[in-house]
Structure 1
Amino acid sequence: MNFFWHRAYPLDVPYQVDLTRYSSVPELLRHAIEQRPDAIAFDDGRQQMTYRAFGEQASALSAYLVAALGLRSGERVAIMIPNDMAYPITALAVLEAGLVLVNVNPMYTPRELEHQLRDSGTTAIVIARTLLGKMGSVLQRLNIDRIIAVDVDTSWIPGSCESPGNPTSFELAIERGSGLAFVPPAIRRGSTALLQYTGGTVGPSKGAVLSHGNLTANVLQVEAWLGAQLRRDREVFLTALPLYHAYALTLNFLYGMLIGARLVLVTNPKDLPTLVQRMQQQRLTFISGVNTLFVGLMNTPGFDRIDFSDLHMTLGGGAATQPAVARRWRAQTGVCITEAYGMTEASPALCTNPIPTHEFDGSIGFPLPMTEVTLRDEYNRDVPIGEIGELCARGPQMMSGYWNAPEANALAFTSDGFFRTGDIARMDDHGRFYLVDRKKDMVLVSGFSVFPSEIEAVCAEHWGVAEAACVGVPDARTGEAVKVHVVRSDARLSAEDLIAHCRLHLTAYKVPRHVQFVEELPKSPVGKILRRMLREETRTAPPPTTEATIPPRSS
């Protein structure tokens, strides 16, 4: 099938991909292990692990899960740890045993964990030992007693403390499993591999049901797009984004393993000084990140002393990279950020820009091979080229639906099988897509649509702004008014200064009426700013003393 945007594809990118190469994620990973058993697969700053050791330990853990714990195909196993060598070992072990992996954010509160484990029907968990202190009561309530504890540092996670219990250690599980007989079951392409829970932007988080075929298809689509740009057995991937998130799971872990990369695992990405030190010690060739990570790194002392001579690709995703940040990154690293777009429900990659990227233009590029994207209006009609509409997509990487959520599934898909992403975008006459904003984040000021990403990008151009987030707040005169939450890079910045800057670059109804200075902005595990939390705080909290309200000017 040919699509409008194919004529703009790079010459070495195929329209079709052979999706039959791998029938399951374990088959893909085992093939990677066989190709380079003695190469380094993971480096966590303390030790390294070869592909061979990765495969052997995963086999032993698989045997333990099945033969010792009695788990059966299709049962759900949760994993709740930050980036550590135990993560990829557990992921392969769970999937090779025919079980379903349930990724859990280790930053979750007990309430959030209970919802996810209860909803998924999880029967066993691999968890950081120091998270058991605050999570043990949840596991008891849900009668989850098959627990494997990983000794990994979580001191940076609030509430971390050891439990008085004595669960089986990760090392002991592997030791015991190495002596147990185990024959991996046959796994079909359509078998469920992963329940990847969304952020819960509307109501409780929902589990996207991703099959082995969804995940392997997306890896092969990414491989087809990147082509010869990333070199087999020579790449060093900075893996600061969490592996329990779909972005790093597919791109860094699964695709990285496919091409024989060495993954530099970062357990605590919030410790930016230590992260920069590790970057100084590595010859990184590939960095995946989000806007907030790029900003944080560049603002950390020592970043300008990193040797980037081997770096030849930086991929941005998860949230829109701001033009000011992209310009600064290129100036400091010599590499242009390649902007991509995806979502949990799509395994996650849907679109990306041509590689190499010579200029950052703010677009999300073109749909990946075998991915169909259309823009629809509120009546489910295709919109003309250049007009904005809701981005809808379908392809072999798209989930079958949300776990046990028939009502949500009915709303999520169009009658012709496209997934409604909730993102507003436009397409130019070359077939290149530009993300405008989230549909639900749009602010209506006197009937005019204001997209927060535009306001945030303008604020980011100001010398005194480190980060900014825009939301709508109720206004008696205009229905809604624009409010920005700002983290200052210079304490001298005032609300009046910022408003004056915005008035130079925005029409009157888009100019913020309210400015609130904050120490930090709420973020998701990959660093995406959570506007919904700011909206909720605005509705429920009294006006802060750090907020200024600026009288409006006429248009």
Structure 2
Amino acid sequence: MNENFWKDKYPVGIAAEINPDQYPNIQAVLKESCQRFADKPAFSNMGKTITYGELYELSGVFAAYLQQNTDLQPGDRIAVQLPNVLQYPVVVFGALRAGLVVVNTNPLYTARELEHQFNDSDAKALVSLANMAHLVEQVLPKTGIKTVIITEVGDMLSPLKRLLVNSVVKHVKKMVPAYNLPRAVKFTAAMAKGRGQTSTDAAPNNGEIAVLQYTGGTTGVAKGAMLTHRNLIANMLQVKALMGAEMSEGSEVLIAPLPLYHIYAFTFHCMAMMLIGGHNVLITNPRDLPAMTKDLARYKFTGFVGLNTLFVALCNNEDFRKLDFSTLKATFSGGMALQLATAERWKQVTGCSICEGFGMTETSPVASVNPFSNIQIGTIGIPVPSTLCKVIDDEGVEQPLGSIGELCVKGPQVMKGYWQRQEATDEVLDADGWLKTGDIAVIQDDGYMRIVDRKKDMILVSGFNVYPNELEDVLATLPGVLQCAAIGVPDEKSGEAIKIFVVVKPGETLTKEQVMEHMRANVTGYKVPKAVEFRDVLPTTNVGKILRRELRDEELKKMQ
């Protein structure tokens, strides 16, 4: 589809184009927004709120610490391994102001996963939560990380509350396993030192990398998508444009239950909301529904960012249903397919429709979304401004409207490529800037798009990508495993659940418990399979490649 086709698909009041070169870098956006909205709340967590003015001051303090007390140089990578706490925006924006490249790291990663990401990114520094420091201790000697900063959950709270919260987490809930990191610096000590020092904001050009966001892409090896300042600025402006007149500057209150280390929440809350001076209420543990509901009751929230799994859980919670939704005007869904029944139930409970969109790590992430004024449930909406979409067949030939094909995206938010993996980059990104998404879609006459299938074997568990190759590689290291395969099967709660198939070596025995224990020790929670099936043989091609699709088809038939 050419540019002219898309230009007249936008509702009145929404521009078809944005200017991705409006700002030279993210630092410039941050400075402008923190001055404009200095007295407005930026982030809240555990009852504590920091304004945009305070965010600028605190991130400057952290930048000063990094510049004056470490050997870190502009362009070096800093891994940030934090849940949704106030330290997260302070650290991320401080690191960017110091000229570093942020490597978002899942706090739930196992030692094996951490070692891969730290080494692949060649991280020189790490900011981690004390709860995960025992794993950091295990992997640190195998990495090039020299600067380690450890923070505790309550470190941004008032002194008395900080002491109370950190003591409860450590001694009552026993959530901080013992660790020994003698060279690590406490976050509170780093901030105290940085307060008396000066920082100089780095001034990278907008083509330089701001964030290395890890993803499996179309294969199972985790790769760093190189997201430039221009990529992220473009996506901020695109999201803001599509929110149109619905969002008022300096007065929106957005609930942030999804992890900020995930690209969806990162771009929405840390980037797009900055442009409009939005107030982001950080939910540290969205699985604790009673605590989350208590948090929500404190705020007259106007927006909610979530995904299907969370919407279902909340709508089934009696306390959530009793909340005051009179100010809620926008709900955004992404990360996984939104089910029609979930959308209807959310509207019934809250009175607010859900805008579903589509994105990938490689598109920073938002590629398309349903405009507020014209939501079509069951579609992923229209491309965000300055973005083109098309579907192609297996030979790469563009298909006409209404035809099924692989969805491709082109726009200023499309990544620079995969970090130090040119071959993998060339597989998905062509010379004209078109990104192959691996999703099978249809473009309707009105420009709205529907995802109908996935080309790749990726499994989507509650919005998180899980790659069969990785699971099978881990499983293959378990003594007794001859062959194995991992697939996704439909699941009401998480969209898809992981099922693995195992062929045991002749003369050996394996139990389901042994398999599960091995997986739990080597992969993070959402990658652990829900079901294990032992088989004598697995279906293969004539060259011996296991046919995962055949296994999936068998499972679907059983469920019908």
TM superposition score category, shorter chain reference: 0.7 to 0.9
Matched, 1:136 2:152: no
Q: In structure 2, do the counterparts of structure 1 residues 471 and 387 end up closer, same or farther at CA, with 3 Å as the change threshold?
A: farther
Aligned equivalent of 2:195: 178
**2:470 aligned with 1:469, yes or no?**
no
DSSP 3-state at the match of 2:372: coil
Corresponding residue for residue 271 of structure 1:
288
The whole-number CA distance in structure 1 between the counterparts of 2:392 and 2:500 is 27
- Stretches of 4+ moved more than 6 A in 1? 153-159, 470-474, 539-543, 549-553
CA separation in 2, counterparts of 1:390 and 1:534?
29
What is the match of residue 69 of structure 2?
68
Structure 2: how far apart are the matches of 1:434 and 1:551?
A: 21
Per-residue deviation, 1:284: 0.9
Spell out the pairing of 1:427-506 with structure 2 (5 A cutoff).
427-441=443-457, 456=490, 469=496
In structure 2, do the counterparts of structure 1 residues 551 and 351 end up closer, same or farther at CA, with 3 Å as the change threshold?
closer
Residues 279-305 of structure 1, C-alpha deviations (whole Å, 9 max, x = no match): 122111000111011111112231111
Give the aligned partner of residue 439 of structure 2.
423
- 1:440 CA drift (Å): 2.3
Distance (Å, rounded) in 2 between the aligned partners of 1:467 and 1:100: 32
- Is residue 389–residue 425 contact of structure 1 (8 Å, CA) maintained in 2? yes
1:3 counterpart SS class: helix
Amino acid in the other structure paired with 2:188: E
Q: Which amino acid aligns with 2:119?
A: R
AA aligned opposite 2:290: P
Contact 1:62 1:97 in 2 (8 A): yes
CA distance in 2: counterparts of 1:417 and 1:326, whole angstroms: 34
Q: Deviations over 1:103-140 (max 9, x none)?
A: 00000000000000000000000110121112212012
Q: Counterpart in 1 of 2:42?
A: 41
Which residues of 2 match residues 92-241 of structure 1 at below 5 A? 92-152=93-153, 160-166=176-182, 167-199=184-216, 202-241=219-258
* Change in 2 beyond 3 A, CA 1:76/1:363: same
Equivalent-residue separation in structure 1 for 2:178 and 2:87 (angstroms): 18
Q: 1:473 to 1:79 in 2, by over 3 A?
A: closer
Partner of 2:309: 292
Specify which of 254, 262, 269 is matched with residue 271 of structure 2: 254
Over 3 Å counting, the alpha-carbon distance change for 1:11 and 1:377 in structure 2 is same
Change (3 A) 1:541 1:6: farther
**In structure 1, C-alpha distance between the alignment counterparts of 2:219 and 2:173, rounded to whole Å:** 25
Q: Aligned partners of 2:341, 2:198: CA distance in 1, in Å?
A: 56
Secondary structure, counterpart of 1:435 in structure 2? strand
Shift in Å, 1:256: 1.1
Q: Which amino acid aligns with 1:152?
A: V
Report deviation, 1:98.
1.1
Provide, for residues 244-275 of structure 1, a one-character-per-residue CA deviation record: whole Å limited to 9, x for no partner. Answer: 11111111121112111111011111111211
Q: CA deviation at 1:333?
A: 0.4
C-alpha change, 1:393 and 1:325, in structure 2 (3 Å) is same
Q: Shift of residue 426 of structure 1?
A: 0.3
Q: Which deviates further from its counterpart, 283-292 or 5-14?
A: 5-14
Rate the CA distance shift 1:539–1:408 in 2: closer, same or farther, 3 A.
farther
Offset of 1:68 from its aligned partner? Answer: 0.4
Retained in 1: the 8 A contact 2:218–2:456?
Answer: no
Q: Calculate the TM-score normalised by the size of structure 2.
A: 0.80
The answer to whether the aligner puts 1:341 opposite 2:319 as a matched pair is no
Equivalent AA in structure 2 for residue 204 of structure 1: V
Q: Secondary structure at the match of 1:338?
A: strand
Q: How big is the shift at 1:165?
A: 3.1
Q: Distance in 1 between the 2:11 and 2:288 partners?
A: 38
Q: CA RMSD in A?
A: 3.1
Aligned-partner residue type, residue 263 of structure 2: A
How far is the alpha carbon of 1:542 from its aligned partner?
A: 12
Is the 2:370–2:376 Cα contact (8 Å) retained in structure 1?
no
Q: Distance in 2 between matches of 1:8 and 1:285?
A: 27
Deviations 1:26-73 (A, max 9, x none): 111111100021221111023111111111111111111111012101
Cα distance, 1:158 vs. partner?
11
**SS at 1:375 equivalent:** strand
Q: Cα deviations across residues 314-360 of structure 1 (Å, max 9, x unaligned)?
A: 00101110001001000000011011111101110100111135x55
3-state DSSP of counterpart to 1:302:
helix
1:515 corresponds to: none
Show CA shifts across 1:61-93 (max 9, x none).
Answer: 111111101210110001001011111011111
TM-score, length-normalised on structure 1? Answer: 0.80
Asked if structure 1 preserves the Cα contact closer than 8 Å seen for 2:103 and 2:211, the reply is: yes
- CA distance in 1 between partners of 2:382 and 2:422 (Å): 31
Amino acid aligned to 2:64: A
Q: What SS does structure 2 have at the residue aligned with 1:165?
A: coil
Indicate how the Cα distance of structure 1 residues 185 and 330 shifts in structure 2: closer, same or farther if over 3 A, else same: same
Task: Single out whichever of 152-161 and 65-74 deviates more from structure 2.
Answer: 152-161
Give, as a single letter, the amino acid of the residue that structure 1 aligns with 2:289: L
Letter in 2 for 1:243: L
- Check conservation: 2:207, 2:229, Cα contact below 8 A: yes
Aligned length: 480
Q: SS of the counterpart of 2:456?
A: helix
Letter in 1 for 2:336: A
1:244 is the counterpart of 2:254: no
Letter in 1 for 2:80: I
CA distance in 1, matches of 2:426, 2:556: 44
CA–CA separation in structure 1 for the residues paired with 2:556 and 2:302: 49
1:382-401 aligned within 5 A: 382-401=398-417
What is residue 408 of structure 1 aligned with on the other side?
424
Amino acid at match of 1:16: E
Query: What is the rounded CA distance, in whole Å, between the counterparts of 1:435 and 1:552 in structure 2?
Result: 21
Uncovered stretches (5+) of structure 2, i.e. residues with no partner: 155-168, 460-486, 502-522, 539-553
Kept in 2, the 8 Å contact 1:385–1:427? The answer is yes
Query: Is residue 22–residue 216 contact of structure 1 (8 Å, CA) maintained in 2?
Result: yes
